[in-house]
Amino acid sequence: MDRITERIKDCLKDVPEYVAGKSIEEVKQKYRLNRVVKLASNENPYGASKKAIKAFREFGDFHIYPKTDFVELREKIAEYVEVNADRIVLGAGMDGVLENIFKMFLNAGDEVIISIPSFPYYHTLTKIHCAKDVQVNRGEDFTMNVDAVLDKTNEKTKIIIVCSPNNPTGNVESREDIKRLIEETDALVFIDEAYVEFSDNDLMDLVDYENIVVARTFSKAFALANLRIGYAVMHEDLRKEYMKVSTPFPLSTSAVNAAIAALDDLEYTKRCIKLIVEERERLMKELSKFFKVYPSQANFLFVKSGVKAKTIAEELMKRGVIVRDCSNFIGCDEYSLRISVGRKEDNDFLLEALDDLKAEGIL
């Protein structure tokens, strides 16, 4: 008899399992360190709004299923992004939103165009749906090559990904380029604005086109990564289809209550953003002593040096700093490193560790 794993769909064979970076606790134990700073997952280092934490904790009816349509949260988001609540969907993180969109559009053999390097999960999801990830190189400054993307478009192209600011490179796309892309294709243009709050350029005003989805998350600026809340704005007709593919209860009431409270406490999030952006500019200058640092409109910096990213990441980890080695991102070389912007003291700790690497001749 065949092993049961032989019966799993063929296209899964190609899909790598998601490997998360090491946690603070793991690194503390492994290297017997008292202090470990994680600058690897682009989290908000100041933590969630106290009001959000309180709202989360106040709900205790865990035996009751959550609602399927969180009108109050959708209305609050609608106010925040200035669109009608009828056009907003929610998901278990932006990952959950992406999963639903891919479920809606992809048949086996379809194509998704991804400008590389970018967020690895796009490739994974494409493969899970037995579709092909068509990879297009970015330009020198990592902006998308819209002409090359349009060149690769054909009747099988169902989704074109735009990630702005882009993970891991931190650059944004221009409104004119993306407007042209939307106008010149029949495919769905999925705009990932996970990091938009750290940027001075957003693409939300393009959302009136029928073939676009603009997705965002509470995981970054709003500091609720652990609660898994993402959302997207789309045409009302698309929203109806989205509700068909969504799992029945993707979000917990506690998480939704926290997100509502976070939106009621926008001042807190704005303070975090201001501190992070100020630190980003300082860190950018300081890191230039060690690396080539690329301009960023996100809460992380993309850097390169002549030393392999794997070596730098390992050496920093031994000294209590976790950063992201991007050499396994499709489209990155082995010198690519991404560093999240932490609190001032965290960033100083990183800079001291880098001084140390330099003194020891590693950098």
Other beta carbons less than 10 A from residue 249's beta carbon: 12
User: How is residue 198 written in tokens?
Assistant: 């750290």
Question: Three-state SS for 116?
Answer: strand
Q: Does 261 bind ligand PMP (CB under 6 A)?
A: no
Q: Does 95 bind ligand PMP (CB under 6 A)?
A: yes
What length does the chain have?
A: 363
Q: Could you give the angle at the alpha carbon of 222 between the alpha carbons of 25 and 42, nearest 5°?
A: 45
By CB under 6 A, which span of 87-95, 153-161, 321-329, 355-363 interacts with ligand PMP?
Answer: 87-95
Q: Does 225 bind ligand PMP (CB under 6 A)?
A: yes
**Shortest distance, CB of residue 154 to ligand PMP, whole angstroms?**
26
Question: Three-state SS for 91?
Answer: strand
Q: Could you give the angle at the alpha carbon of 260 between the alpha carbons of 52 and 190, nearest 5°?
A: 115
Query: CB nearest ligand PMP: which residue?
Result: 93
Nearer to ligand PMP, 221 or 354 (CB): 221
Q: Does 217 bind ligand PMP (CB under 6 A)?
A: yes
Q: Does 163 bind ligand PMP (CB under 6 A)?
A: yes
Please pick, from the candidates 94, 106, 234, 350, the single residue that binds ligand PMP as defined by CB under 6 A: 94
Please pick, from the candidates 105, 119, 190, 335, the single residue that binds ligand PMP as defined by CB under 6 A: 119
Nearer to ligand PMP, 93 or 331 (CB): 93
Please pick, from the candidates 219, 336, 340, 347, the single residue that binds ligand PMP as defined by CB under 6 A: 219
* SS3 letters across 292-351: EECCCCCCEEEEECCCCHHHHHHHHHHCCEECEECCCCCCCCCCEEEEECCCHHHHHHHH
Nearest-CA neighbor of 281 among 253, 263, 262, 301? 301
Nearer to ligand PMP, 42 or 347 (CB): 42
Nearer to ligand PMP, 1 or 20 (CB): 20
Query: Distances in Å between the alpha carbon of 240 and those of 101, 123, 172, 234?
Result: 12, 26, 30, 10
Nearest-CA neighbor of 86 among 103, 69, 99? 69
Q: Does 112 bind ligand PMP (CB under 6 A)?
A: no
Nearer to ligand PMP, 116 or 354 (CB): 116
Positions in the binding site for ligand PMP (CB under 6 A): 42, 93-95, 119, 163, 167, 192, 194, 217, 219, 225, 230
